[in-house]
A and B are shown apart, each in its own frame.
Chain A
Amino acid sequence: MERTTGHERRDMVETTTPPRRQPARRSRTLDVMDDELAISVRGLRKAYGDNLAVAGVDLDVHRGEVFALLGPNGAGKTTTVEILEGYRQRDAGEVRVLGADPAHPDPGWRSRVGIVLQGTGEFDELTVAEVVRHFSGFYPGADDPDKVIERVGLGAKARARTHTLSGGQKRRLDVALGIIGRPELLFLDEPTTGFDPEARREFWELIRDLAAAGTTILLTTHYLDEAEALADRVGVIAAGRVVEVAPPNRLGNRQEALATVSWRTPEGTPESAATATPTALVAELAARFGGEVPGLTVTRPTLEDVYLRMIGH
């Protein structure tokens, strides 16, 4: 629902600016597609000494999409994202972020991109309101600082020094600084690491809010449930490569995967079989046992199973 309103709004914006878009639409070139992509990455490589952190990443993120880059620690998520954010230089590959090469970020581009880094940069001596207000001055189209503080749920803490905030509250401040410039594209690098479950739920609501308002979001996480809860599509990254990109419910062909049927033999030893036709097998077992099958379970691989298989466990 929320997502849809976001898309509709963007479409409206697009149709109200025909002079720029129409010539491009007539000639369906790569560039038109570029324009519909917030992020486009081909063959991205980055090594630190002998360590190949990013080993050929391909990635497309559409405008208005919430894309989760899911992978274990050290898979190359942060390196990839920091190249896209303009913090790191790549060794090879083609990268376009909002139509520009992030290797040479200019203030105009910076004002359209919001960044929530993994490590927080803290301003211990300042209050939440002071920091947010100060950063709002950097952006030509900045949002109202008080509104943003309310929106991230720090209204009650606006006058508190930032060093008195809890971990979760500091993260909210990070997000406030990431969205104060009303970015078209928001990067969130492991935004909820270290959160308690309730704080994570609240945070997810905030992200959904932003997505509903049409913000493109690239999120990195090593939490499966987070990717599943937030993302339109998930890219699984392992050992510096994107091994699969799919909507969370279709990751690893989970739907079509073999089901595992488990039961106990009359002697009590556990038995199991992987099958594409679990119903038939259960019927057969029922016939064999003449009724109840002891210890019967039918399971399909969980997202976690699929994910662990993909990242090589």
Chain B
Amino acid sequence: MTTTTKPAAPVATTAGGRRLGAGALALRQGRLEITQFLRSRESVVFTMLFPVVMIAIFASIFTWEITPGVRFTQYFVTGMIATGLMTVSFQNLGIWIPIERDRGVLKRYRGTPMPKWVWFAGKVIMVVAIGVAETALLLAVSAVFFDLNLPSTAGRWLTFAWVAALGVTACTLCGIAISSLARTARSGSAVVTPVALILQFISGVFFVFTGLPGWMQQVAALFPLKWMCQGLRAVFLPDSFGAQEPAGSFELGRVALVLALWCVIGLVLCLTTFRWTTKRDG
């Protein structure tokens, strides 16, 4: 077929002619995702209330102080914040994306002129918004009812911010990546839940990390959750507690390094394995 005499590609009849900008596209996608999330009752209860319920239970059982002036809640809340952030990103996406893929929602998006990144941006906006809301709720309940001491210095809040941001980024990317392992809508939670649960047990969410067997600590140190917990301990516990960490300090530099590494791993996995359609669907 001759290409030289080819007439210009016919242009679409864009009578209205308005094309939304990138920012507007991302924001409305994010708003849609948030709406969908908030309307799915199980997601809201599981994601938003689970950490709060857990902190209520643990704070009621373990009422003693680890050292004078430091309640157990102060330790336990770090694990719950990290778990909450992982739930809203890793579990949420790892479970919901296979459902959407199976239903053909992703395939439908691919059939529109929507740029691919907009869909991912929508997920990220949803994760960030829900993550912030859920963490704020957890902190408020813990501070009001269980005497949690909130971080007292700007430096600690800053550490809180970057640990949470890096952790959520890593978990979001890993959640998107692991979603491609599930072959059907229902297998998403079967793939993701055990991973999350095991990580929670070995990463010091429910138990004091240094009380775990050495090999378990080693395994946990390969994954992001342990480092999120450790970074958050630097935020919520007195500096003197750093001495009790496996390395004798909170190792914030290493926290940043490992979490950043997981961001890269997650991104590479996303870019190489992400599927818009199910296997049987081409």
Using a CB–CB cutoff of 8 Å, the interface residues on chain A facing chain B are 13, 20-21, 23-24, 27, 29-32, 34-35, 82, 85-88, 94, 98-100, 107-108, 110-113, 115, 117, 119-126, 130, 134-135, 137-142, 177, 181-182, 184
Main secondary structure of the interface of B (DSSP, over half): loop
**B282 CB–A CB distance under 8 Å:** yes
A141 touches B15 (CB 8 A): yes
Residues of B within 8 A of A32 (CB): 7
B28 touches A122 (CB 8 A): no
**Which of A86, A100, A122 is the one whose CB lies under 8 Å from B105?**
A122
A111 touches B6 (CB 8 A): no
Q: How far is the CA of A24 from the CA of B112 in the complex (A)?
A: 30
Give 11 CB contacts A-B under 8 Å. A29-B2, A30-B1, A31-B7, A100-B9, A111-B112, A121-B100, A126-B32, A126-B35, A137-B25, A182-B15, A184-B10
CB closest residue in chain B, given A99 = B9
Among the stretches B16-24, B70-78, B255-263, the one at the interface with A is B16-24
CB closest residue in chain A, given B43 = A125
**B14 CB–A CB distance under 8 Å:** yes
Residues of B within 8 A of A31 (CB): 1-2, 5-7
Interface residues of B in 7-62 (CB under 8 A from A): 7-10, 12-20, 24-25, 28, 32, 35-36, 39-40
A140 touches B19 (CB 8 A): yes
CB closest residue in chain A, given B41 = A125
The listed residue with most B CB atoms (<10 A of its CB), out of A31, A108, A115, A140, is A140
Distance (whole angstroms) from the CB of B192 to the closest CB of chain A:
20
Q: How far is the CA of A111 from the CA of B19 in the complex (A)?
A: 11
Residues of B within 8 A of A140 (CB): 12, 14, 16-19, 113
Distance (whole angstroms) from the CB of B68 to the closest CB of chain A:
49
Distance (whole angstroms) from the CB of B11 to the closest CB of chain A:
8
Q: Given A29-B2, A31-B1, A110-B111, is A82 in contact with B36 using a C-beta cutoff of 8 Å?
A: no
Q: How far is the CA of A108 from the CA of B36 in the complex (A)?
A: 28
Distance (whole angstroms) from the CB of A125 to the closest CB of chain B:
4
**Which of A21, A35, A125 is the one whose CB lies under 8 Å from B35?**
A125
Q: Given A31-B1, A98-B10, A112-B12, is A126 in contact with B36 using a C-beta cutoff of 8 Å?
A: yes
Q: How far is the CA of A252 from the CA of B115 in the complex (A)?
A: 45
Residues of A within 8 A of B9 (CB): 99-100, 108
Q: How far is the CA of A21 from the CA of B5 in the complex (A)?
A: 12
CB closest residue in chain B, given A140 = B19
CB closest residue in chain A, given B111 = A115
**Which of A88, A120, A139 is the one whose CB lies under 8 Å from B112?**
A139
Distance (whole angstroms) from the CB of A26 to the closest CB of chain B:
10
Residues of B within 8 A of A124 (CB): 40
Main secondary structure of the interface of A (DSSP, over half): loop
Q: How far is the CA of A117 from the CA of B282 in the complex (A)?
A: 13
Interface bin, chain B: 35 or more
**B103 CB–A CB distance under 8 Å:** yes
Distance (whole angstroms) from the CB of B234 to the closest CB of chain A:
38
Q: How far is the CA of A312 from the CA of B105 in the complex (A)?
A: 37
A121 touches B106 (CB 8 A): yes
Distance (whole angstroms) from the CB of A152 to the closest CB of chain B:
16
A82 touches B282 (CB 8 A): yes
**B108 CB–A CB distance under 8 Å:** yes
CB closest residue in chain B, given A94 = B1
Residues of A within 8 A of B35 (CB): 125-126, 130
Q: How far is the CA of A182 from the CA of B112 in the complex (A)?
A: 12
The listed residue with most B CB atoms (<10 A of its CB), out of A32, A86, A142, A177, is A142
Residues of A within 8 A of B115 (CB): 107
**B114 CB–A CB distance under 8 Å:** yes
Residues of A within 8 A of B28 (CB): 134, 137
**Which of A111, A134, A137 is the one whose CB lies under 8 Å from B12?**
A111
**Which of B2, B13, B111 is the one whose CB lies under 8 Å from A85?**
B111
Residues of A within 8 A of B6 (CB): 31, 34
Residues of A within 8 A of B109 (CB): 121
CB closest residue in chain B, given A31 = B6
**B242 CB–A CB distance under 8 Å:** no
Distance (whole angstroms) from the CB of A137 to the closest CB of chain B:
5
Q: Given A31-B6, A120-B104, A122-B103, is A182 in contact with B111 using a C-beta cutoff of 8 Å?
A: no
Distance (whole angstroms) from the CB of A24 to the closest CB of chain B:
4
Distance (whole angstroms) from the CB of A206 to the closest CB of chain B:
19
Distance (whole angstroms) from the CB of A204 to the closest CB of chain B:
23
What 5 A-B pairs have minimum CB-CB distances, sorted nearest first?
A121-B104, A121-B108, A107-B113, A125-B39, A141-B14
Q: How far is the CA of A181 from the CA of B19 in the complex (A)?
A: 12
Distance (whole angstroms) from the CB of A87 to the closest CB of chain B:
6
**B107 CB–A CB distance under 8 Å:** yes
A141 touches B10 (CB 8 A): no
The listed residue with most B CB atoms (<10 A of its CB), out of A13, A21, A110, A177, is A110
Distance (whole angstroms) from the CB of A59 to the closest CB of chain B:
16
Residues of B within 8 A of A13 (CB): 13
Distance (whole angstroms) from the CB of A83 to the closest CB of chain B:
10
